[in-house]
Amino acid sequence: MQVNHDSTAATVHRLLFRALLEIRSEGREQKNKAVFHLADLFHTVVLEMENAAEGQCTYEDVLKLLEQRAKEKGLERWLTQETVEIER
C-alpha cells in the first residue's frame, strides 16, 4: 500500500488527538487531575499541529495557542517551567 506523506502526517496527528482524549477521559475517571489537565491542554493543540504541518499556520502560532490555553487552564506555570527545561 502506497501512502503519501501528507496523509501519514494527518493520521499520526489524529491518532495522537484520540489518544489524548482517551488519556483525558481516564484522568477524569481516576480523579487524576494532573493527567486530566495535561491531556486537556494538549489534545486540541495536536489539531493545530496538523494545520502547521499543512502550512496553514506556523509552529509559532501553535505555541502561542498552547500558551493561551495554558493560561486559561491555570497551567501557565507548568508550561513555563517545562519550556525552560527543554531550552537548557
pLDDT of residue 66: 95
Domain count, the chain: 1
Residue 1 has what DSSP assignment?
-
Question: Which three cell numbers mark 7?
Answer: 496523509
Query: pLDDT at position 2, please?
Result: 46
pTM summary value? 0.78
pLDDT digits 0-9 by tens, 15-73 = 999 999 999 999 999 999 999 999 999 998 998 999 999 899 999 999 999 999 999 99
For every residue of 22-35, DSSP letters joined together read HHHHHHHHTT-HHH
Q: Which amino acid is at 13?
A: H
Nearest to 50 by CA among 38, 39, 62: 62
**pLDDT given for residue 5 in this prediction:** 58
Measured between alpha carbons, how far is residue 27 from residues 16, 17, 34, 53, 70 in Å?
A: 16, 15, 8, 29, 18
Instruction: Give the range of the structural domain holding residue 69, as residue numbers without chain letter.
Output: 5-87
